[in-house]
Structure 1
Amino acid sequence: MSIAHGLVELRSIDQNNWYACTLLEVTDEQKEVFPIPVVYWLAESAYCGFTPLAIYAGEQLVGFAVYAIDPDDESHWIMAYMIDHKFQHRGLGWAGMEELVRTIKEKYDCDKIVLGHRPENERASRLYDSLGFEEVSQNEREVIRELKFNK
């Protein structure tokens, strides 16, 4: 799969790019709000039915995303999303998330996408707000947001 749109392209993760994905990292201060390394998400995706995607700007790998469909209620979740620390502050986070939302919506014709982030992750909160994700619940560990589509 290779989906080009705007600044970024989402690509499937395969034998040619999986290792490069494991080398992606957030900044040191972001590790407190995005503590799980990419290699974990790749392993979990292989065994739990998640879909991992590499985010490219041209031929440069810049980020990583994982989405899944909840088997209990068929809701569409963005499980993980990150832009490597070397490529932040260039609009790639916004462009990548916009492309990820478009891809999930088109592929599954769903009426909403759900995601969660830590309450202290203010950058994620601003990004998701700017894309229309609305907070639906919060506890001390996680903020849950939904982006609803008109059908």
Structure 2
Amino acid sequence: MKIEELNEGNWYECCDLKLPEKQAEYIESNAISIAQSKLEPSLKPFAIYFEDKVVGFLMYNTEKEELDGYWIFRIMVDENFQGKGIGKAATKLMISEMSKLPDAEKIVVGYHPENQEANHLYANLGFIDNGDRFGKEIAVTKYINE
């Protein structure tokens, strides 16, 4: 399992990935996320590989935002590859990359309260709910040096 910065060889495969219907309502499509990354250069998109096949997509911001943290913008694993620990492993790799950013003290991610998969993933990785809310989204924080 590895993550690789989005490039001309893997971007289209990322656009073809699908989420189960109940998860798709909580997250923008990969195509929209990729377009957003081209308009906002601080966003870093990556393809997630499993056994040399693109199976997921993730993106984070390299500039601090709300709550004085670096934000995870997207993490998704294709519906055919969920339940294999790929999302957790990829998120750990992303956290490792993000922790190298300047003054990286905390990483923040927001998700819809009904997205149980996201809730389980982030709680499992040590993200803490400090009660922060942005619109309908819950924002949870991972402190880097703890």
Q: Normalization by structure 2: what TM-score?
A: 0.90
**Corresponding position of 1:38:** 30
Identity of aligned residues (%): 29
Q: CA RMSD in A?
A: 1.8
Q: CA contact under 8 A between 2:45 and 2:59: conserved in structure 1?
A: yes
Unpaired runs of 5+ in structure 1? 1-7
Distance change >3 Å, CA 112–CA 30, structure 1 → 2: same
1:149 to 2:144 alignment? yes
Segments ≥4 residues shifted beyond 6 Å: none
Unpaired runs of 5+ in structure 2? none
Paired residue total: 143
- Measured after TM superposition, the shift of residue 70 of structure 1 is 3.8
Cα shift readout 1:6-52 (whole Å, capped 9, x = no counterpart) = xx211011111111110111101111222x11000000000112110
* Rounded Cα–Cα distance in structure 1 between residues aligned with 2:14 and 2:133: 30
**Corresponding position of 1:26:** 19
Q: CA contact under 8 A between 1:69 and 1:75: conserved in structure 2?
A: no
Q: CA contact under 8 A between 1:115 and 1:144: conserved in structure 2?
A: yes
- Measured after TM superposition, the shift of residue 139 of structure 1 is 5.8
Alignment of 1:5-84 (within 5 A): 8-34=1-27, 36-49=28-41, 50-70=43-63, 75-84=69-78
* Rounded Cα–Cα distance in structure 2 between residues aligned with 1:72 and 1:91: 29
Q: Normalization by structure 1: what TM-score?
A: 0.87
